[in-house]
Amino acid sequence: MKYLIRGKKLVTVSSMGSIQNGAMLIENGKISKVDAWDKLRAHSTGIDVLDYSNYVITPGLVDCHTHLLEFAPASLYPVTPETHFIAGKGILFQALASGITALGEQICGHPLCDFTIADYRKIVKDFPIDISFAATSISVGFEEMAHFTSVTSSKEVPQSDLTSPSLVRKIAENSDYPGENVFINATPANFTPEDVPKAGEIIYTLNELKEIVNIYHGLGKKIGCHVAGEKGIELALEAGFDVLHHAHGMTKEQIEYAAIKGIPIVATPMGGTHLRPNSPDEIAELVEKKIPVSISTDAYLPPYEHVQWLPFKDRSLRGPESLMLISHPSMQLLKDRFDENDILALLTYHPAKLLGKEKQFGMLAPGMDANFLAAEGIPGLEMTEIDKIKSVFYKGSKVVNRD
């Protein structure tokens, strides 16, 4: 299958930058040429031309920290184990319809789910979204702290198991990329504060964390963590974690240190920890310091309350359809100081690189998967409504269309 697609503007997120009146040649699910329409039209004899010349074409969005398949089905729908993944696929389609063509999914272990990571992989195999899985352990800050792991299904484990080398090795082996592999602080998850008085409590010593990091590195894997607050972030930086997720409450000195070390940060401005989430000012500061920042939903989440950068009126659960909305204030702040391609990289190239797939997607460039969308503006920067995304393409096939 071969066609040309033409747009009002291509925001490539590559060294080519934005191309007015641009076009791409798509062959067998890959982008084979990117250039001005005038230069590419010579190739158009005898092949289809998809005319999106009223629309902006950008790479598909990448949400590199989500919980769509494990926690979300039972949170949103009255599912049983038999119908869990039917709901899961509906949730994935909602992400796709929101312009997201790649996800970084966390599998943490869950009291209601007896599925294995292999089950999750099997279910999504033919789904038109690229999904990387992070295998994790998790500590929920109930009065009686509860610990689970991605390799022990619904069974609660004692805290001492979280540092067991054989268990950590098994989790690491099942992990595709540095997600929130270790919860340095206990999480409030989606519970109300009264239910999780121990949310935020630090679970590990520095030596324990160093040993866990060593196990991952020994297997040639990078490791990320769920972390918030000065003390937790200090531990994460000292123990040598490769990626910080959330990093809510990071101090100026810690930002300087992360910048020097080039440690990527996955900002979750909707919530996700016991602390106030990343503000637009904080996200802009990370970008100014040249830290590779991804913005992610951590969906499904009840949005953090009483922060002026979140437009939500209540705490009902929000999903990947909110990615553009929660990114918009930060992207707006960067508008006068950065090129639109560098700003869109927060939702495309940086998360793709975090997933280790930056050679496969995250920009519009020859050789990349043809994962892109045609929309009324630049996602997150110029528009936040998913209805303004006209079409989504995955590996060259149109998988979402709004007419």
Q: Does the bond joining 52 to the residue before it have cis omega, within 30 degrees of 0?
A: no
- The Cβ of residue 315 has, within 10 Å, a number of other Cβ atoms equal to 14
DSSP class of 377: S
* Least spacing, CB of residue 281 vs Zn ion, in Å: 23
Which stretch in 55-63, 198-206, 296-304, 311-319 sits in contact with Zn ion by CB under 5 A?
296-304
* Least spacing, CB of residue 273 vs Zn ion, in Å: 9
Residue number with the shortest CB distance to Zn ion?
A: 298
Choose between 188 and 377: whose C-beta lies nearer to Zn ion.
188
Residues 309 and 299: their CA atoms lie apart, in Å, by 17
* DSSP bridge partners of 4: 25, 49
> What residues contact 397, with CB distance under 8 A and at least 6 apart?
29, 128
Question: For helices 323-334 and 280-288, what crossing angle results, to 10°?
Answer: 60
Choose between 23 and 189: whose C-beta lies nearer to Zn ion.
189
- The Cβ of residue 233 has, within 10 Å, a number of other Cβ atoms equal to 26
* Least spacing, CB of residue 252 vs Zn ion, in Å: 25
Tokens 């001005």 sit at which residue?
36
- The Cβ of residue 12 has, within 10 Å, a number of other Cβ atoms equal to 25
In order of 191, 200, 251, 262, 315, the CA distances from 196 in angstroms are 7, 9, 25, 34, 16
Angle at CA of residue 68, ends 122 and 113, nearest 5° = 65
* Least spacing, CB of residue 352 vs Zn ion, in Å: 19
* Least spacing, CB of residue 92 vs Zn ion, in Å: 17
Which stretch in 18-26, 144-152, 254-262, 298-306 sits in contact with Zn ion by CB under 5 A?
298-306
- Decide: is 63 part of the binding site for Zn ion (CB under 5 A): no
Choose between 300 and 361: whose C-beta lies nearer to Zn ion.
300
* Least spacing, CB of residue 227 vs Zn ion, in Å: 11
Closest CA to 344 of 18, 93, 5: 18
Choose between 140 and 324: whose C-beta lies nearer to Zn ion.
140
Q: Which of residues 384-403 bind Zn ion (CB under 5 A)?
A: none
Secondary structure (DSSP) of 15-70: TT-EEEEEEEEEETTEEEEEEEHHHHGGGGTTSEEEEEEEEEEEEPEEEEEE-TTT
* Least spacing, CB of residue 104 vs Zn ion, in Å: 10
Choose between 23 and 326: whose C-beta lies nearer to Zn ion.
326
- Decide: is 105 part of the binding site for Zn ion (CB under 5 A): no
Total residues belonging to the chain: 403
* Least spacing, CB of residue 155 vs Zn ion, in Å: 21
Q: Which of residues 330-389 bind Zn ion (CB under 5 A)?
A: none
Which stretch in 48-56, 293-301, 348-356, 377-385 sits in contact with Zn ion by CB under 5 A?
293-301
Angle at CA of residue 84, ends 82 and 89, nearest 5° = 125
The number of residues that bind Zn ion (CB under 5 A) is 1
Tokens of 50: 């998809």
Choose between 296 and 341: whose C-beta lies nearer to Zn ion.
296
Which stretch in 144-152, 160-168, 291-299, 365-373 sits in contact with Zn ion by CB under 5 A?
291-299
- Decide: is 298 part of the binding site for Zn ion (CB under 5 A): yes
Distance spanning both ends of the chain, measured CA to CA: 23
Question: For helices 206-218 and 165-173, what crossing angle results, to 10°?
Answer: 50
Choose between 107 and 209: whose C-beta lies nearer to Zn ion.
107
Which stretch in 23-31, 126-134, 290-298, 337-345 sits in contact with Zn ion by CB under 5 A?
290-298
Residues 390 and 52: their CA atoms lie apart, in Å, by 9
Choose between 14 and 273: whose C-beta lies nearer to Zn ion.
273
Choose between 181 and 341: whose C-beta lies nearer to Zn ion.
181
Which stretch in 120-128, 137-145, 297-305, 308-316 sits in contact with Zn ion by CB under 5 A?
297-305
Closest CA to 70 of 385, 303, 298, 242: 298
246 to 285: interface string for Zn ion, x by CB under 5 A: ----------------------------------------
Choose between 204 and 372: whose C-beta lies nearer to Zn ion.
204
Per CB under 5 A, residues contacting Zn ion are: 298
